[in-house]
Structure 1
Amino acid sequence: MSNFIRPGQVWLDTNGKRIQAHGSSVMYVDGVYYWYGENKENTIPGSGVWHNGVNCYSSEDLINWKFEKTILKAPSDVNNPLHPSRIMDRPHIIYNKKNKEFVMWMKLAGTDDNPRDWNYQYMGIATSKSITEEFKLIDKIVPLDMSSGDFDLFVDDNGQAYIIFGKVHTEIVIADLTDDYKNLTGKYSTHLHFSSPPLAREAPAVFKRENEYFMFTSGTTAYYPNQTLSAKADNMHGPWYIIGDPCLEDTEKNTFNSQISSVFKVPNQDLFIAIGDRWVVDLTRKKEKSSWNINTSESDYVWLPVEFRDNIPVIQWKSEWNPNNF
């Protein structure tokens, strides 16, 4: 048992195994925290493996995590978009109260002819009646006929749900979801317009405090960490105003060597946690393929509290901290 979250250090589950839940989020269901994300345990250079499904862990203190199961499995059929060799990133789950159903969206990319074709990015939708039971893929869509990159899901206080994604690589799109959270209504708005990488924004992480909305976004530098930008709005559809880098004393301007994937609001506390990945990159150039070796199987996590100063979110580095004493 541990008493602290230690950002950037190896995080083991209660069985002593490295936690595999990348591009992740946390949900609170019936008094238990559930952390879920991509299983990258076999994603090593030369393996041809991009993922091994989506893992789910449970905890009562946000520190010690028990492995529950792989809730979205990677099938053996190479033509299935969830095959381990194909791209599946950043699963997000929201709960639909009306249908009593958990709805997972995930970023997919590639085609049968070219499984690693980043020029074709779209979304997969899967559902389950329980956060700890297997999710089944029910649909694949190209939202608003746009190439959709890293994304987030957000459910407002009135039950209206939104998908927030980076339109590759130009702007952030915010779109209303249908009542069942499985499709888009067609209503959308665009924000944070930048011409191209590395300034173009991606990986939005949206959260709400009192009556104001906040969004963290990353620049577009692949697995290499960069400076987070924070924005705020009075309405989900904006206008959104950039309010600067939330990371204090981040001398390298790289979000403490991480990329934020989501922000979790701890129930019954004025505490928000920025949940991020510290990707491991092998800088050995693959000359024959003109790419980089990326070993995500040994990537770690950077979880840090989001504090507020004059109603502006800020993140400070902490080598260890306990969310229950915050």
Structure 2
Amino acid sequence: MQSSIRPGQVWLDTEGKRIQAHGGSIFYQNDTFYWYGENKEKTTPGSGIWHWGVRCYSSKDLYNWKDEGLIIPPVEDDVTSSLHPSSNMDRPHIIYNKETGKYVCWLKIMEKDHTQTLTILTSDQLLGPYTMVRTKYRPLNMSAGDLDLVIAQDGKAYYYFERVHSELICADLTSDYTDVTGYYSTHFPNIHPPYVREAPAHFERNGLQYLVTSGSTGYYPNPSEVSCARTYHGPFDILGNPHVNDSTNTSFRSQISCIFKHPKKKDLYIALADRWITDEAGFIPYEDIRNGFDRMYNPNRTDEPFPTATQRRQPYNAEENTNKADYVWLPFRFEGKMAYLDWKEEWRIEDYE
């Protein structure tokens, strides 16, 4: 039995197996926490497998997690399906629609031509089975990257996503949460990666809407950024990097996928992040990554393209080793509007009011 959270260390389920819920989120209902995410158990070097469906775990204490199995299994017999194991399926997000009684799941899909689309599924139960209602979907006719889904107190829902290599979008969802209405706002315009903001993670506190985003450097980690606004559509004020005393400037070598407000604690907000690269051989200083991605996407650069000679000397493929990615869960500390994340080797839910 586990009695604390230990960021960056191997996390096993109640059967002693490595937890596979990457790019994940937490859903809370009936006094139970459900942690779901990308199942990377078969994503090994040379396998050609990007994912093996969406796996879910349940817990009463956020420490010990029971494997509830695949709530969205891969489609093995159709290579054209967005759920085929070779398909680049990432970052599942599930919200519940009280009007329709449906659980709605949005999946980001990287297509073979490098455009990014969505697959949307619904279910009568959180643990499935899910039925596909949209695939190859381009919201607002945009290439749509990392996302978060948010439900306001009045039931209206919003969709935050990276307009690929451009800016962040906030779009209103239709009443059934399976489409956008057409109304949207734009935020954080940047010229190209690695400066474009992706991986939006939303939370609300004291009447303010917060977004934590990362730069765009693939699986390689980079500094996060906190911003806040008075409305879902902004405008957002950039507050700065939340990661305190992070000498690597890489968000403690992780990327946040979700921010979860503990329902039984007064002010406990938990950042759920993945440490995609765990091998020291695969870790590259952020300055090298930033320069490498700038060379890749900056049309005005004429020097050596990414990867650099230094990076080529490191025999590591991050995408093929995500099956052994670890998790970095940390609690936020607030000073005024600003939200901070301090590194903790170990921490306990019980230490918070």
- Give the TM-score normalised by the residue count of structure 2: 0.87
The question of 1:278 aligning with 2:275 is answered yes
Q: How far apart, in 2, do the equivalents of 1:133 and 1:125 lie?
A: 13
Measure how far apart 1:210 and its partner are.
2.2
Aligned residue type for 1:87: N
Task: Please list the CA deviations of residues 164-202 of structure 1 after superposition, one character each: whole Å capped at 9, or x if unmatched.
Answer: 000111110000001110100001000011111111100
SS at match of 1:324: helix
The question of 1:319 aligning with 2:345 is answered yes
Aligned to 1:99: 100
Aligned to 1:34: 34
More helix by share: 2
Measure how far apart 1:44 and its partner are.
1.5
Measure how far apart 1:317 and its partner are.
0.6
Where do 1:1-326 residues align within 5 Å?
Answer: 1-76=1-76, 77-110=78-111, 116-118=112-114, 120-140=115-135, 141-269=137-265, 270-280=267-277, 283=282, 292=317, 294=319, 295-326=321-352
Label 1:93 to 1:84 Cα distance change in 2 as closer, same or farther (>3 A).
same
Aligned residue type for 1:278: R
Measure how far apart 1:109 and its partner are.
2.0
The 10-residue stretch of structure 1 (182-191 or 266-275) with the greater mean CA deviation from structure 2: 266-275
Measure how far apart 1:291 and its partner are.
9.4
Task: Please list the CA deviations of residues 274-293 of structure 1 after superposition, one character each: whole Å capped at 9, or x if unmatched.
Answer: 00000026649998xx9945
- 4+ residue runs over 6 A deviation: 284-287
Aligned residue type for 2:3: N
Structure 1 unaligned runs (5+)? 111-115
Q: How far apart, in 2, do the equivalents of 1:166 and 1:226 lie?
A: 16
Aligned residue type for 1:237: H
Measure how far apart 1:266 and its partner are.
0.8
SS at match of 1:252: coil
| Contact 1:38-1:52 at 8 Å conserved across structures | yes
- Give the TM-score normalised by the residue count of structure 1: 0.94
SS at match of 1:165: strand
| Contact 1:127-1:137 at 8 Å conserved across structures | yes
| Contact 1:70-1:134 at 8 Å conserved across structures | no
Label 1:96 to 1:63 Cα distance change in 2 as closer, same or farther (>3 A).
same
The 10-residue stretch of structure 1 (168-177 or 124-133) with the greater mean CA deviation from structure 2: 124-133
More strand by share: 1
Measure how far apart 1:81 and its partner are.
1.3
Q: How far apart, in 2, do the equivalents of 1:307 and 1:97 lie?
A: 32
Q: How far apart, in 2, do the equivalents of 1:221 and 1:159 lie?
A: 34
RMSD of aligned Cα (Å):
1.7
Measure how far apart 1:311 and its partner are.
2.7
SS at match of 1:102: strand
| Contact 1:172-1:202 at 8 Å conserved across structures | yes
Structure 2 unaligned runs (5+)? 284-306
| Contact 1:72-1:136 at 8 Å conserved across structures | no
SS at match of 2:239: strand
| Contact 1:33-1:60 at 8 Å conserved across structures | yes
Aligned to 1:113: none
Aligned to 2:295: none
Aligned residues: 318
